Structure 1
Amino acid sequence: MDKMDTATHVMKKKRPCEDNEKTEKVKKRRKVDESDVCQNQQKAKSDEKQPRLSAKVFGEDSEISYDQLYRFLKYSALGKRHDATHPSWCRVHHRKRLAGIVVVVLRDVGQLHFDRFYLQFKHLRRIFRHRFSLPPASDDFLKELCGLGINDAPQISRQVTQKNPIIQKYGEEAHGLSRYVLTVEEMRLNDYPLEGLSNYSHFVRTCCDGPVTDSSPLFGLDCEMCLTDKGSELTRISVVDARGRCIMNELVKPKLPIRNYLTSYSGITEELLLPVTTTLADIQVRLKKLLPSDAVLVGHSLNFDLQALEMVHPNIIDTSLLFARKGGKRFKLKFLAEAVLRKQIQRTDGSGHDPTEDAKCALELAQYFISQGPRKVAALNLEARQLKQRETGEAWNGALPQQKNGVRKPIQCLLDILRSVGQKTLLLGQQNEGASYNCQNQTGSPNKQVLQRALEEIPRSSFSVIQFALDSQHATPNQVAETVSKMRNRLANMLTLYAGPFAKDFCLKSLKRTFKKYGHVLSIRAITETFEPHVCIQYEVLEAAQLALESLNGAEVAGSSIKLQRPVTEETLDCEVLLKELERDSDNKGILYLAGLGKAKSETGLREKLGYLKDLNAVFLPRDPRTRKQRNYCFLKFHTPESASHALEAIRERTARGSKMQSRRALTPVHLHKWFRHVNQNGGRLLAPQPPLEAHFLEKERPFDSEEDLKKAMKTLDRRIKQLHRCLPNHTLCVVLLPGINRGSESFQGFGLLGIKGEKPAS
């Protein structure tokens, strides 16, 4: 018994330990599980914050203007600074996490080439998920983006340049900012407040005694004044930092009563100053705290501003003196803004000047001068521009184009703006050396050299524009005409079906009703050359022809078992490959083609009828280009490809139960649909399909070499973009532009593709 008691006692002692061990193991497991959950949550949050795009380009909204594209790039690079706004057609989520922006321009290439050589653009169409149509090539867009054409002022000779007062004052070579800071003698000659002068003995000195270097910070400053018995007194002050951000914008109440508010210039009114309590002394204290020891103030005729502030500051860059003229004359700030920065400031509507705008403008002028150097500034030939402006009574037309409504639209070169806020830019592969005044230049370089330079320098730039040029022999009018002709033939053949044989007494009108179930029929005609009757049907869109082919080939129609086929030509030999690639195309994912709508319906009515389809995002109802009546088919866009698959099954189930609606996956991207509508109508007549394959062997000469060379050129451009994209850092926004052709009578649509490298599809 004693042994049993002892054993029982030992067991009792062991159990709690075992229980404790189990409890500790469970706790440890829970901690591990919780740790995993936290890590997964953090990873999920990290994934959520990765930059991504959500483009709303579908249906009639698939064409984007160059102005919309410019605003998109400007917002992507700057956020909400410099009046950039988030465009509605494409949202950039977590913009600040972008690693950089790269714009690739393929000159003389457009939507025509992308669609004609679709299979050759293997990488281009697989890399980029978002696409949009563009109007024909716009040089204005490239001017806004890169500054191309900024030097199209009257040219001046080398001898005249040497006599330019800017060259005589600063020489030709570019210098750091310290070279352009006014000397004490220059400040004395231009009535700047200086220590030791009796007139300024009561002025307050800023706490800026540090030596100025080329890396010293710049601050733009501008003041507005009103008249009192004392003279001009400060009523408003604005200060911006080197990135153009406003860090001070204050109204100031003078000590003496105001005799004249000078509202048309100052923008100050009695009502505006009524609640203000800030005094000049308050502003002086704030400025002393705000400016670092080596701060350089920038302004236009800044001596008047410092006199109104009653302050002495030793380090000044005065843009009215920086852009030197003969005989002590000075350019006005408004003119320099137009001629150099291509900005319009100081409105003439009587609301007065905006001191923040003026301060920022003076700062950007100084930054431009410092970055470009005296030689580039002298080449602008500002005297000739001002003379021309006075003669015509208008601003330089290259700077401020006229809009349709008569309102001038200021153009700002985006690369200039980016440089003004400290971002490094890159411009390679341009056609004109004079056009590159702000970036690296690779004038006349072959595409291979441009690519090599790009791979080396893109990692060091936040915004890059890389231009590849199509060989001139491929951009000739004859070559373009040949490409258009072949594209028209391909479309005509792919949209055409031959059906038969039919009984000799078949009704063509009845057959047309049968074929119309699958989409709009452009034309249908009987073929009498065959032993047994056949018909030739041409559809408006590719989906209709393919749906009819899949549904009716081998079926009994009008009492006959018929065969459907496309014409056998060179253009249709790879038709099956092309169709499979189109169906897998990212532009067609999540999109269905739906025919058999019956009477034309509004989008609202159609959505109600299709209420059983879940996750429907958008509807595109094409219209007749002449009558604007809606067609009997549409395209449905779903939020995800999975939703589109479920919807396709649901529609087919209803079709099997007797519904007139027919559906399949989309084959025609919206941009290609527009091209179809443009080229497959020839005055309402059927486009004749290309002659049979055998006919080509009877031709004495064939333009095979030029066609093959163009195909290789497209393939090479595609490969270069692949190499470029592969070397980009993750989270880089990449935009590829095929601007098209716009030369007099020749005008072909442009095309754009965009995406963020490493972007995950939206859930």
Structure 2
Amino acid sequence: MSQLHFYEFYLQFKHLRKVFQHRFTLTPSTNFLASLYGEGADLKPQDTAQGLTSTSSECVPTSSALQCDPIIQKYGEKKRGLTSYTLTLEEQKKNDYPIKGSPACKGYIDTECHQQRTDSSPLFGLDCEMCLTAKGNEVTRVSLVDAQGQCLLNELVKPETTVVNYRTRFSGITKKMLLPVKTRLSDIQTRLKKMLPHDAVLVGHSLNADLQALEMIHPSVIDTSLLFARNKGRRFKLKFLAKAVLGKEIQCEEKLGHDPAEDARAALELAQFFIEQGPAKVAELNLEMLLTTEKLAEVSQNKAALQPEGCRIQKQLNEPPRLSKPCFLDCLQGTGQKPLLLGRQELNSSGLCQSNPSISNKQVLQRALEDVPLSTFSIIQFGLGPEYIASHHLAGLCEKVRSKLTDMLTIYAGPFEKSFCLKSVEKEFGKCGPIHSFTVVTETYKPYVCIQYEVLEAAQLAVESLNEAEVAGSCIKVQRPVTAAMLDCDVLIKELELDVENEGVIYVAGLKKSLTETDLQEKFSQLKDLETLFLPKDHQSGKHRNCCFLRFRTPQSAADALELINGGAVRGGKLSSRHALAAGHLWRWIWLVNHSNGTQGGNIFHKKMEQLSDSEQDLRKKVKKLDHHIKKLYRSLQNNTLCVVLFPGVNSLYGSQSSGLGLMAIKDDRGRSAC
């Protein structure tokens, strides 16, 4: 099944859309399953990191590579005092730190450490271990260390509610340990308030989670997971940083869980190292390269351990030393976990082998229901028969999806008087959003206009706001093309609007071309709970398309904003808005529809209404049944199981659709998914 099938049978995938709430784009690939597994291709040592020059014992970044290091880009090369590395209020908000006055932090205890910080303010390392309870994550152990590494507090805490999962492997906490404990969270909060000086700076690794669990607010923090900056929002683990920077082994496998005092001390020493040595020295450690080398070495050791001794010696004699790019399944098996692979085709780590037509989706489901609960990691492949994935069928399916999207983007408006002003009509409809094409239909007794928009929201806004309105001196009707595929358009629009990806997102049109993103940020900053402003721009000119999208924290805030925005104005431009319809992955498809070389979508007068063929009706039933299979399998999974559904892309005559689509959810017994 491909991404095409998801869009064509969007309404049939009722359960999939409801539960798998997070969507993402897949990287294009010629061999979909092989890329999913991560084929084990050889990788020469000099290819592992660009911009590195090799010495006899280590890889040192060149000056140009050093300038590109995210640590240098964030802090510069000069040494600074500790106050330069404390998180700003904006950074704390962005990284989910408890903030004074925030509705989410109602009832939290303030440490009342509000004295002005200086570069000589005292540092304290803090770390907590949590267990999962009926309430959520609750603190069960707290450690605080001072700048000399002395442990000031190392205490077990009795959670308020029943423990659901002790997470002993990570927390080190057992039921037996907590039985005699009398200390409560309120006791720890009181002690911490007394122990911390008024200008104290707290240090921790992802310290926001510790402060959230402690239900405490502290104004000045250094977060080592953010201090040792990486690209693309990634973070180094504390265990790796302790080894790479400090030369210390923490969180050892032989120990039962993490020691919060050890972790707090490691985070504190990392911050001290960064402050004392400066960003340039830290960047020279080349942590990214060290991490890559460590991972490759681990994979190499695991693969070698699985081979007989004679094979390993012979291989070493016959082959030059090379680093091996880790294969996904090799990595998994190297940790002692054997993945479960089930499908209508024989699956292995090199991709697909000969298909087995005798195996049905129902048989795959039955096997999965029995075997998945016993496996740590499973890949289950459902599919359609070969007649539905043949190239000619996919080309036809692609044209159907493309045609339907074009029809949804297209509206017809009229009738107008023969001498109507074309410019004023285009201007009026342009207020609804960016127009892709605008043509006059003259075959009718009175002229009509055919408008194809760039975005779904614009077409829908035109239908809702301009139908039966007076435009250019005529009372007009606005409608979409009448085709068989468009008869359920209203249902589809409603489903798109209710899609979780569009929750709290509104579309705003009517923006003047002279407005900048800064102007809009200033205008909309007063709206309650506004999280993000997205201003689509033309790829060639770089100018915005007189519309934007606003994401709010809650659907109610979005609804309130709609009332405030509709009919309002920004620098003379009258605004109109509605709820969003197209998530990011659908945006890309619409762009392809508007910019591919295929034929235009259906015509309201000439398109013939055809009944679904038997094979198409059969396919629709198969997809509906497949959605039911996914529902059944999902419900059988253990709570907190990460589930990912992948639809590979397809190349077609009408534009490359090769990227594909992914959907993700985490199983939750409450009937909804958490992402």
TM-score (norm 1): 0.50
In structure 2, the residue matched to 1:640 is 554
From 557, 575, 582, the equivalent of 2:489 is: 575
Runs of 5+ unmatched residues, structure 1: 1-107, 152-242, 244-275, 277-289, 292-346, 401-409
Which letter maps to 1:550? E
Aligned-pair distance for 1:551? 0.8
SS in 1 for 2:533: strand
- Hey, what's the Cα distance between the residues in 2 that align with 1:462 and 1:119? 32
Of 643, 646, 650, 1:737 maps to 646
* 2:666 is the counterpart of 1:756: yes
Query: Aligned-pair distance for 1:498?
Result: 1.2
| Counterparts of residues 621-632 of structure 1 (less than 5 Å) | 621-632=535-546
The answer to whether residue 304 in structure 2 is matched with residue 365 in structure 1 is yes
Aligned with 2:449: secondary structure? strand
Q: CA deviation at 1:442?
A: 9.3
Instruction: Answer yes or no: is 1:562 the counterpart of 2:476.
Output: yes
What secondary structure sits across from 1:551 in the alignment?
helix
Counterpart mapping for 1:337-416 below 5 A: 361-362=300-301, 365-366=304-305, 368-369=306-307, 410-413=325-328, 415-416=329-330
Number of the residue aligned with 2:21? 129
The structure with the larger Rg is 1
Whole-angstrom distance in 2 between the partners of 1:583 and 1:487: 19
Q: 1:421-445 CA distances to partner (integer Å, 9 max, x unpaired)? A: 34453221274455489xxx99974
Cα distance 1:624–1:363, how it changes in 2: closer, same or farther (>3 A)?
closer
Separation of aligned partners in 1, 2:582 and 2:458: 10
Work out the CA distance in 2 between the residues paired with 1:505 and 1:142.
60
Give aligned pairs, total.
428
Q: Does 1:483 align with 2:408?
A: no
- Paired residue type of 1:525: T
Matched residues in 1 for 2:419 and 2:17: separation?
A: 48
The aligned residue for residue 652 of structure 1 is: 566
Q: Classify the secondary structure of the residue corresponding to 1:680.
A: helix
Residue identity opposite 1:724 in structure 2: L
Equivalent residue letter for 2:335: V
Matched, 1:719 2:628: yes
**Per-residue Cα deviation, 1:67-99 (whole angstroms, up to 9, x for no partner):** xxxxxxxxxxxxxxxxxxxxxxxxxxxxxxxxx
Q: Secondary structure of the equivalent of 1:635?
A: strand
Q: Equivalences for 1:572-611 in 2 at 5 Å? A: 572-599=486-513, 601-611=515-525
Distance 1:411 1:355 in 2: 12
Amino acid across the alignment from 1:705: D
Give the equivalent residue in structure 1 for 2:445. Answer: 531
Residue 354 and residue 635 in structure 1: after superposition, are their counterparts in 2 closer, same or farther (change >3 A)? closer
The answer to whether the 8 Å contact 2:552/2:558 transfers is: yes
Q: In 1, distance between residues paired with 2:313 and 2:649?
A: 34
Instruction: For residue 591 of structure 1, report the CA deviation from its aligned partner.
Output: 0.7
The answer for the alignment partner of 2:219 in structure 1 is: none
CA distance in 2, matches of 1:734, 1:356: 25
Distance in structure 1 (CA, Å) of the matches to 2:391 and 2:295: 51
Report if the CA contact (8 A) 1:619-1:636 is conserved.
Answer: yes
Q: What is the Cα deviation at residue 509 of structure 1? A: 1.4
State whether structure 2 residue 5 is matched by structure 1 residue 113.
yes
Aligned mates of 2:296, 2:451 — CA distance in 1: 64
Is the CA contact (8 Å cut-off) linking 2:437 and 2:452 kept in structure 1?
yes
* Paired position in structure 2 for 1:514: 428
From 599, 602, 605, the counterpart of 1:689: 602
Superposed, which structure 2 residues align to 1:275-294 within 5 Å? Answer: none
Correspondence for 1:164: none
Question: 2:381 aligned with 1:467, yes or no?
Answer: yes
Q: Cα deviations across residues 496-551 of structure 1 (Å, max 9, x unaligned)?
A: 11111111210111110010000011122221111122111111111101111111
Distance 1:149 1:706, change over 3 A: farther
Secondary structure at the counterpart of residue 542 of structure 2: coil
- Report % sequence identity: 47
Q: What code does the residue aligned with 2:547 have?
A: Y
Q: State the Cα distance separating 1:687 from its structure 2 match.
A: 2.5
> Quick one: distance in 2 between partners of 1:750 and 1:356?
28
In 2, the alpha carbon distance for the partners of 1:359 and 1:656 equals: 58
Secondary structure of 1:523's counterpart equals strand
Change (3 A) 1:355 1:522: closer
Cα gap change, 1:418/1:121 in structure 2, threshold over 3 Å: closer, same or farther? same
What are the Cα deviations for residues 317-363 of structure 1, in whole angstroms up to 9, with x where unaligned? xxxxxxxxxxxxxxxxxxxxxxxxxxxxxx9xx99x99998688445
Distance 1:614 1:436 in 2: 51
Query: Equivalent residue of 1:695, what SS?
Result: coil
Cα RMSD of the aligned pairs, angstroms, is 4.1
Return the alpha-carbon distance in structure 2 between the equivalents of residues 133 and 453 of structure 1. 29
CA contact (8 A) 1:432 1:443 kept: no
Q: Do structure 1's residue 457 and structure 2's residue 371 form an aligned pair?
A: yes
2:251 maps to none
- State the alpha-carbon separation in 1 of the partners of residues 297 and 449 from structure 2: 73
Residues 565/542 of structure 1: CA separation in 2 closer, same or farther (3 Å cut): same
CA distance in 1 between partners of 2:662 and 2:456 (Å) = 22
* Offset at residue 364 of structure 1 (A): 5.1
Q: CA deviation at 1:145?
A: 5.1
- Partner SS, residue 25 of structure 2: strand
Query: In 1, Cα distance between the equivalents of 2:416 and 2:626?
Result: 49
- Per-residue CA deviations over 1:620-677 (Å, capped at 9, x if unaligned) read 2222243333211111111221221111121126369986111000111121111111
1:345-397: per-residue Cα shift (whole Å, max 9, x none)? xx9xx99x99998688445532x34xxxx7xx99x99969985x56xxx95xx
The 8 Å contact of residues 506 and 558 in structure 2, kept in 1 or not, is answered as yes
Relative to structure 1, is the Cα distance of residues 430 and 614 closer, same or farther in structure 2, using a 3 angstrom cutoff? same
- Structure 1 residues 81-133: Cα deviation after superposition (integer angstroms, max 9, x where no partner): xxxxxxxxxxxxxxxxxxxxxxxxxxx412x2211211111111111111112
2:304 partner amino acid? L
Q: 2: distance between equivalents of 1:382 and 1:741?
A: 44
Q: 1:516 to 1:584 in 2, by over 3 A?
A: same
> Structure 2 vs 1, CA of residues 755 and 357 (structure 1 numbering), >3 Å: closer, same or farther?
closer
Contact 1:137 1:741 in 2 (8 A): no
Of 712-721 and 531-540, more deviation after overlay is shown by 712-721
Q: Which has the higher contact order (CA 8 A, sep 6+)?
A: 1
**Quick one: structure 1 residues 704 and 354, their matched pair in 2 at CA, closer, same or farther if it must change by over 3 Å?**
closer
**Distance change in 2, residues 1:633/1:386 (3 Å):** farther
SS in 2 for 1:455: helix
Deviations along 1:735-763, one digit per CA (max 9) or x if unpaired, are 11112236999653300111111176889
Deviation, 1:610, is 1.2
Residues 429-472 of structure 1 show CA distances to partners (whole Å, capped at 9, x for unaligned) of: 274455489xxx99974322221111111111121111123322
Q: How far apart, in 1, do the equivalents of 2:454 and 2:428 lie?
A: 15
Deviations along 1:254-274, one digit per CA (max 9) or x if unpaired, are: xxxxxxxxxxxxxxxxxxxxx
Deviations 1:19-43 (A, max 9, x none): xxxxxxxxxxxxxxxxxxxxxxxxx
Structure 1: how far apart are the matches of 2:312 and 2:297? 23
Q: For residues 136 and 539 of structure 1, what CA distance do their matches in structure 2 show?
A: 27
Task: Supply the distance in 1 between the matched residues of 2:451 and 2:484 (Cα, whole angstroms).
Answer: 20
CA contact (8 A) 1:497 1:545 kept: yes
Q: Distance in 2 between matches of 1:666 and 1:469?
A: 32
Confirm or deny: 8 A CA contact 1:624 1:631 kept in the other structure. yes
C-alpha separation in 1, matches of 2:294 and 2:394: 52
TM-score, normalisation: structure 2: 0.56
Which among 408, 424, 433 is matched to residue 494 of structure 1?
408
